[in-house]
Amino acid sequence: MDLNKKVISLCKRRGFIFPSSEIYEGIGGVYDFGPLGVELKNNIKEAWRQEMILKHDNIVGLDASILMNPRVWQASGHLSAGFADELLECKKCRKRFKADEIKENKCPECGGKLAEPKKFNLMMKTFIGPVENKASITYLRPETCQGIYINFLNVLNSMRLKLPFGMAQIGKSFRNEINPKNFIFRTREFEQMEMQWFCNPKDADKYFDYWKEERIRWYERLGIKKENLRAVEIPEKDRAHYAKRQVDIEYHFSFGWGEIEGIHNRGDWDLKNHSQHSGKDLTYTEEDGSKYHPYIIETSVGVGRSLFAFLNEAYQEVKGGRTTTTKSIKETEVVLKFPKSLAPVKVLVLPLVKNKPEITKKAKEIYQMLKSSFMCQYDEVASIGKRYRRGDEIGVLYAVTIDFDTLNDNSVTLRDRDTMKQERIKIKDLISILKTKINV
Ligand code: GAP
């Protein structure tokens, strides 16, 4: 089985990600995040929020709505040809493809002839209010950042900000993708983490390079190896309709290189267009009285796409197993080596045996004690070796084992996922030791 299939299968089996509406045969390009997927996703979002808002000066948060006045999309250019893919349909099997993914003029599925390309707008349409007519049409946003631009004045004035400053937001976006593919890589509903850096036009190039480097370092700090990341300068003909300059940060997935984040110099495209369409003055006034539309440097990352990259990076197989003391050495073991901040479960609590009530009672007490400080799981089913491996497979950082000695010495065994080293720890010190190790 190739790596992609293994990761996808693990995601389903261990509660990370499920295809949406599975009992009704699914729905194309939509996925649900299970209990572990939610934790992982929240950890990624929190790591991004900390990086952008807490670490950097002058970046504030926002949570704008998914639904906006449809005039927003007129102004942003999303209702015109700029936000459309070219669609090719096979005359034989009727499958549809994005034109830029087709090398020859033949269907990659059945070899059939392809029809002439058609433009296909990616906006998801809906109606607002009880009457379904032209006047009630609106759209699910295809990018979160327009909510930031239309709140530019609100935030500038209410927070008394001065250029340069940033606005950051995390939220859902929707695109009617022709060809969703590669699991959660390209979906029709997804989340984005976007930061818009408003600056004086003369500083835009400098900040573009700054943010590009900052964003690459963020992935590296979260454990992505340098060789699995690259920054690709996008030529003018392939850039998004709003971008003066665009660099895609790509990750080396098992199916090839794929964009996980876009860094864009959007110039004054957005604020100028919104000024024109709304009639509101969205310029910035300098202390000397000069006015201009700030330039925007955007960093835009998909939560699901980056999560998929983090999953791929963390996935490790050890042929023959890591344990040398038990029979398990013959099996292939899987370890998800997530960095500490991203691991969805931090601590696994294990009674050595499940048929001794004194031990399970103590283990449950310890689980209760730990669970308000760390994301924990309690597991008493199967041999201790199997349970350790089950924890490794979902990337649990530490396992706490309660054994017969615990009842006398009030200590437990703490096992480290990566080194598999075990140490004896007093129960009274457990929380503070784990806090130091996990750094939470
Ligand atoms: N506001 C700019 C913007 O939306 P984009 O390059 O179209 O730029 C940014 O998207 C990021 O959003 C991508 O790098 C990717 O991580 C994520 N993304 C875009 N379309 C997606 C899709 N259909 N499925 C999953 N993630 C997607």
**Contact criterion met (CB below 8 Å) for 398 and 347:** yes
pLDDT at 309 over 90: yes
Q: In sequence order, which residues have a C-beta less than 8 Å from that of residue 371 and are 6 or more positions away?
A: none
Q: Place 82 in a pLDDT band, splitting at 50, 70 and 90.
A: confident
Contacts of 94 (CB under 8 A, 6+ apart): none
Query: Given pLDDT bands bounded at 50, 70 and 90, which one contains residue 101?
Result: confident
Contact criterion met (CB below 8 Å) for 427 and 438: no
Most informative mutation of 190, 193, 232, 308 for ligand 1 (most atoms within 8 A of CB): 190
Rounded to an integer, what distance in angstroms lies between the CA atom of residue 136 and that of residue 80?
19
- Say how many Å lie between the CA of residue 145 and the centre of ligand 1: 11
* Cα–Cα distance, 66 to 147 (Å, whole number): 8
CB atoms within 10 A of CB 366: 23
CA–CA dist 282, 116 (Å, integer): 42
Q: Cα–Cα distance between 246 and 394 in angstroms, integer?
A: 36
Our mutation pick for probing the ligand 1 site, out of 305, 307, 310, counting the most ligand atoms within 8 A of Cβ, is 305
| 8-state DSSP, 181 | B
For atom 24 of ligand 1, the residue with the nearest CA is 186
Q: Are 128 and 136 in contact (CB under 8 A)?
A: yes
Burial of 194 (0-12, 13-18, 19+ CB in 10 A): buried
pLDDT band at 328 (very low <50, low <70, confident <90, very high): low
Residue 436 CA, ligand 1 centroid: distance in Å: 36
The pLDDT of residue 24 is: 98
Q: Please state whether beta strands 137-140 and 118-121 pair in parallel, antiparallel, or not at all (unpaired).
A: unpaired
- Residue whose CA is at the smallest distance from ligand 1 atom 9: 300
- Tokens coding 435: 């806090």
Ligand 1 atom with minimal separation from the 175 CA = 23
pLDDT band, residue 19 (cuts 50/70/90): very high
What letter does residue 252 receive in the DSSP assignment? Answer: E
What is the secondary structure of 55-102 as a DSSP string?
Answer: ISTTEEE----SB--THHHHHHTTTSGGGEEEEEEBTTT--EEEGGG-
- Give distance in angstroms: CA of 249 to centre of ligand 1: 11
| 372-392 pLDDT per residue, tens | 999 999 999 999 999 999 999
Question: For ligand 1, what atom is nearest to the CA of residue 302?
Answer: 16
Residue 336 has pLDDT above 60, yes or no: yes
Whole-structure pTM value: 0.95
Exposed e or buried b for every residue in 111-130, given b needs 16+ CB within 10 A?
Answer: ebebeebeebbebbeeeeee
* Residue 327 per-residue DSSP state: G
The torsion of the CA quartet 422, 425, 431, 436, rounded to 10 degrees, works out to -60
Q: What is the mean pLDDT of residues 12-39?
A: 97
Ligand 1: centre distance to CA 155 (Å): 25
Q: Give the ligand 1 atom nearest the CA of 248.
A: 14
Mean pLDDT, residues 42-71: 97
To test the pocket of ligand 1, the residue of 48, 183, 259 to mutate (highest count of ligand atoms within 8 Å of its CB) is 259
Nearest CA to ligand 1 atom 22: 186
- Please write the tens of the pLDDT for every residue from 157-215: 999 999 999 999 999 999 999 989 999 999 999 999 999 999 999 999 999 999 999 99
The tally of CA atoms less than 13 A away on the side-chain side of residue 422 is 10
